[in-house]
Structure 1
């Protein structure tokens, strides 16, 4: 929806920082090209860029609000959407609180006055916001349950600054005295996982408020965080004769979620790939907008496009469909710009086609729906089947497990059964680390020789696993993905890449009411009957076309393996590595050797190479100042 920037000073010097805040706002104009404003008192400066979605004529921010006896008490900056704002407005009005707009922003600040920090429990939506209480001289910050909307912060002796995008805090760094050294621990986590895990960022002095957390702050004080959202996947068995009730409950809550997510005073479209998740969302959205537009992307290379399947789905549900085909040349040219928008690198090649399809969508609509979150909530990843295949190992005595483990280490690589023995004799905490790990430790040391084993992925996953001891194995994997892959990759690209095009992306699966239904499913309604997302597929039988009901979702598959080995991107990658000034981080000779091995077919290093390349390009922009992407935010129509 928007971009927020705030600064709470330690010494009451806010007025001296207003110009710096104003100068930092344009670097995230893409998040809000429809308007910009600042507000300050002696302690606080707020800046805001608005993308107008609801209540276009009013609900401008920073928003000053208060009860009748103190109408200037609170000031709000808010990025996101509150989908139950109509119901909340009725509740707040019934409590006697004054409401001066018809939008959703006012419900947050009025709700904070009524419920205090528990206001987050009442909000159904995606959000990152800050409320300043001028009477108590207290700042309250919060992010939504899943981390759909970002919030970076930096604390120095001068105060605490926070923003929707890290580049704003980089712009304020000199004014604030922020430590901009590279966090080498975060670098290792990035290389290990393909993203920088929360709450880290690659800059030592800048961190993120975690998903499902809120925080309070006073002038000169420290940021005090609390977790208000703790997902608990339950394992309550479902009687066979009540399964249909479960399927109906899923269908009904999705119908309601999509209806709420369609609330807007501008045009809402939908992304549409060849999979069940986006198709379900588009089909449900069509019920609320007969003129729904859908969008997809693909590549010319055979086997790396869902364009035909998406077109068939669009025809089946009766929507007008738009397609963007991305060439290798367009792909390479866009990467530096995309890394600038991301703030920290994410080594997911699907970022690039997403950028192009978002740009295409923004020509026609201002908001799009998408299917993110279905796999994490309903058990959609193929790897979730693994606990069933490894079940025989659970009954083996410890000495036998140790013997089989030892045997697995001496079997030659590639031998049938070696991987099964390795994974079956390994605790889940050691074998499952989410969907994105590119390097094992030995491979990592090849390219970053300073890597420390104590900094590997287990440092990130260990505390998350500790929270899921009582869950079944599939639920434990889902729980881990909620706090790693989903918020580190899926939701970062969902927010940053769409907002790069001044396009708001909404994710109806990641709705707290949908989650309440999903978290109660036992594993045999997730991974069952030889498929994943079993209950969701059954629930959607009357909603999605038959040709996608049991089709495996590909998302935006990218032919990176072929491009890096061929004329399309091999030379480009070689040039990027040679030009990069990252000798203190990477063994560039080893990286070039890895690229050559990939070209020669010795090993498929495509994901590892792309992970390093993404970092090098990011480093060239934010550290070396060698790469300067051309950023131009068009003047889009406000009321598209």
Structure 2
């Protein structure tokens, strides 16, 4: 929906801060090309780039609101959408006498805050990142949505705090990025920087599901959303049917609300059940729905044929964007610039191009992110069941098998199973991406610190899920790591890079309320995942997709790095001025072994390449991507 900056000064506002906010807004113009506005008073400066979706002509920002007696009291910048805004406005008007001056959703936030305080954030159903300034009390209040769909960076400077949608905007105040050394080590293991940190040591993030209050220069953060997985047993066929009906009912309602817009809404469509379900339900509310997919013309790396078949089955017009190897290598520096923090997920590339294609025809797309985390969709969730025989072995035998596992050569079948089967869950599961193992880091990372571990990230999360079943604990880890660190970052950054708003109906508070009660027997059954969701969608999703394992938007980096992209990768490795942090000889060894077919190191190589490009762009300044100026119509 937009990009914003909020500078809250602890003293009288300096003139240069207004200029810096204005400069920072230029760095995120892609997030809102329709309109730009700056507002300031004696303590505060707000900047806003608008992508107009609802109430196109009247709901500009920074938004001014107040009750009739003090109509200028509040100012707000807001990124995202509140999908239940119509219901909230009606309730506020009826119960509190609230007066509204626009038809937009933003006023439902600030008016609710006025009448109900910080707790009002729990009433919002949507994706959001906002900052409100109460000019009467000299207090700032802000929040991010429960799952972290919309970003919020922050930094403390000598005379106040600055918040914003993009890190590169905040650097107008904080200066050139400086490498956050501990987070580089986490990144090389996880392929993303875990919240609340940033790869830039001068910046951090307001965490998903958190709000903050800034009073007299003191920032206080509060977690308002606590995802709590509590199974309710399903004991018979009738209870099963009731569960499946409820899943479909709440998901259909979520899609209906996510379709609320004054512009054209489309949908991404891959070969999996999640995006297909969203598209099929969206078709009920927009008979002329457009769907979009992407792929590479490399065997095994495309779901275009499946998506085409799905589009025909649900009766939608479908558009495919093919991506070439040359486009991937040429565009990656620009993609890293849009990212702000490095994320080493190759799916960023096709997502960027399919978003670019979609933006030619629509202004909003729906997508299927979040279903795996909420409904138990990852294959790795079978692991606790698979490892039960090993976990039941006597302690001494357990230790012996662990020693055997360590002695086996890398790549030997069964080594990983032995290793993982002799570890506690807290030691073996730290999310979906595991790039470099601990023993590989000393030879690669020159700043390696043995006291830094993934436990720094996961232990606080595991501490809040004691007593849950193993799969619930894994889901909770993924909600707080993989989902908000990788999946939602790439979704937001790659779509907003193209001035396209992406909405994710699975990540809805009402959908989560149903999903959190699903028992293990309805997540993993009949050899499949997301069992209850699949059963619920039998009336919606075409049969060829219903039990198919999805690939998403797969990327043939493994193939490309053994061909023409080898020279491209070598040039980045040998020319990037990252020697202080990364051993280039170690990376070249990985690249050469990969090219020669000794092993598949493609994920590790890609992870290092993305960091090197991030460093070249934001720290060294040796790479300057050519950023296209967004030129899109307001109405589509």
TM-score (norm 1): 0.97
Matches within 5 A, 1:540-551: 540-551=537-548
- Of 593, 596, 605 in structure 2, the residue corresponding to residue 597 of structure 1 is 593
Structure 1 residue 190 corresponds to structure 2 residue 199 = no
| Structure 1 residue 581 corresponds to structure 2 residue 577 | yes
**Residues 14 and 40, structure 1, Cα contact 8 Å, conserved in 2:** no
Of residues 451, 455, 459, the one that matches 2:456 is 459
Moved over 6 A (4+): none
Q: Relative to structure 2, which stretch is displaced further, 613-622 or 420-429?
A: 420-429
How far residue 405 of structure 1 moved from its aligned partner, in angstroms, is 2.4
Task: Determine the C-alpha separation between the residues in 2 that align with 1:298 and 1:120.
Answer: 39
Distance 1:122 1:14 in 2: 36
Pick the aligned partner of 1:613 from 609, 614, 617.
Answer: 609
5 Å-filtered alignment, 1:256-405, equals 256-405=253-402
Q: Which of 499, 502, 515 is 2:499 aligned to?
A: 502
Aligned counterparts of 1:169 and 1:392: Cα–Cα separation in 2: 52
Displacement of 1:415? 4.4
1:291-322 C-alpha deviation (Å, 9 max, x unpaired): 00000000111111000100000000000000
Task: State whether residues 373 and 509 of structure 1, in contact with CA within 8 Å, keep that contact through their aligned partners in structure 2.
Answer: yes
- How far did 1:173 drift? 2.0
C-alpha distance in 2 between matches for 1:190 and 1:151: 19
Deviation at 1:180, TM superposition (A): 4.0
What does residue 243 of structure 2 align with? 246
CA displacement at 1:527 relative to structure 2: 1.1
Any residues of structure 2 matched to 1:102-141 within 5 Å, and which? 102-141=103-142
Between the aligned partners of 1:205 and 1:570, the Cα distance in structure 2 is 34
Task: Report what 1:434 is aligned to.
Answer: 431
- Whether contact under 8 Å (2:17, 2:173) holds in the other structure is no
* Distance in 1 (alpha carbons) for counterparts of 2:571 and 2:412: 37
Distance, in Å, in 1 between the alignment partners of 2:151 and 2:590 is 34
Q: Could you tell me how far 1:421 is from its partner in structure 2?
A: 2.5
Instruction: Pick which of 7-16 and 137-146 moved more.
Output: 7-16
Distance across 2 between alignment mates of 1:171 and 1:415: 51
Tell me the alpha carbon deviations over residues 382-405 of structure 1, each in whole angstroms, 9 at most, x when there is no partner: 000111111223433333323332
- What is the alpha-carbon distance in structure 2 between the residues aligned to residue 273 and residue 70 of structure 1? 50
Partner of 1:408: 405
Q: Deviations over 1:191-229 (max 9, x none)?
A: 11100110111111110000000011124x232101000
Q: Distance in 2 between matches of 1:582 and 1:465?
A: 34
The whole-number CA distance in structure 2 between the counterparts of 1:207 and 1:409 is 38
Residue in structure 2 matched with residue 235 of structure 1 by the alignment: 231
Whether 1:61 aligns to 2:61 is: yes
Write the deviation string for residues 468-503 of structure 1: whole angstroms up to 9, x where unpaired.
111100011100000101100000011011000000
1:237: Cα distance to partner? 1.7
Matched length: 634
Give matches, 1:465-476, under 5 Å. Answer: 465-476=462-473
Q: Using a 3 Å threshold, how does the CA distance of structure 1 residues 272 and 204 change in structure 2: closer, same or farther? A: same
Say whether 1:39 aligns with 2:39.
Answer: yes
Q: 1:14 to 1:449 in 2, by over 3 A?
A: closer
Does residue 562 of the first structure (1) align with residue 559 of the second (2)?
A: yes
Instruction: Give the unaligned 5+ runs of structure 2.
Output: none
Give how far 1:451 is off. 1.1
How far off is 1:78 after superposition? 0.2
Structure 2 contact 29–630 (Cα < 8 Å) conserved: no
Do the aligned partners of 1:14 and 1:44 also contact (CA within 8 Å) in 2?
Answer: no
Conserved 8 A contact 1:126-1:148 = yes
User: Secondary structure of the residue that 1:623 maps to in structure 2?
Assistant: helix
1:414 Cα deviation (Å)?
4.4
What does the per-residue CA deviation read over 1:544-570, in whole Å, with 9 as the maximum and x for residues that have no partner? 000000000100111100100112x00
3-state secondary structure, aligned to 2:321: strand
- 1-side partners of 2:339 and 2:369: how far apart? 18
| Counterparts in 2 of 1:413 and 1:25: CA distance versus 1, 3 Å | closer
Contact 1:3 1:164 in 2 (8 A): yes
Task: Name 1:165's counterpart in structure 2.
Answer: 166
The SS at the match of 2:621 is: coil
Instruction: Give the distance between the partners of 2:613 and 2:227, measured in 1 at CA.
Output: 36
- Point out the more displaced range, 236-245 or 356-365: 236-245
Query: Which string of whole-angstrom CA distances, capped at 9 and with x for unpartnered residues, describes residues 502-537 of structure 1?
Result: 000000000000000001011111111100000000
Task: Measure, in 2, the Cα distance between the counterparts of 1:414 and 1:40.
Answer: 60
Q: Post-superposition shift, 1:252?
A: 0.4
**What is the match of residue 200 of structure 2?**
203
1:625 equivalent among 608, 621, 624: 621
Aligned match of 2:27: 27
Q: Deviations over 1:88-133 (max 9, x none)?
A: 0100111201111111001000010011001110000000000011
Provide the C-alpha distance between the structure 1 equivalents of 2:612 and 2:414, rounded to a whole number of angstroms: 38
- Shift, 1:235, TM fit: 2.5
Query: How many Å apart are 1:135 and its aligned residue?
Result: 1.3
Q: Which residue of 2 aligns with 1:153?
A: 154
Contact 2:177 2:619 in 1 (8 A): no
Relative to 1, partners in 2 of residues 1:425 and 1:139: Cα closer, same or farther, differing over 3 Å? same
Q: CA–CA distance in 1 between the matches of 2:199 and 2:630?
A: 29
The offset of 1:407, in angstroms, is 3.3
Aligned with residue 488 of structure 1, among 472, 485, 489? 485
Cα separation, 2, equivalents of 1:444 and 1:414: 18
Query: SS at the partner of 1:356?
Result: helix
Instruction: Please tell me whether the aligned partners of residues 30 and 501 of structure 1 are also in contact (alpha carbons under 8 angstroms).
Output: yes
- Answer whether contact 1:373 1:486 (CA < 8 A) is retained: yes
Moved more, 417-426 or 455-464: 417-426
- SS at 1:376's partner residue? helix
Paired residues of 1:192 and 1:456 also in contact (CA < 8 A): no
| Normalised TM-score (structure 2) | 0.98
User: Which deviates further from its counterpart, 315-324 or 407-416?
Assistant: 407-416
Tell me the CA shift for residue 14 of structure 1: 4.7
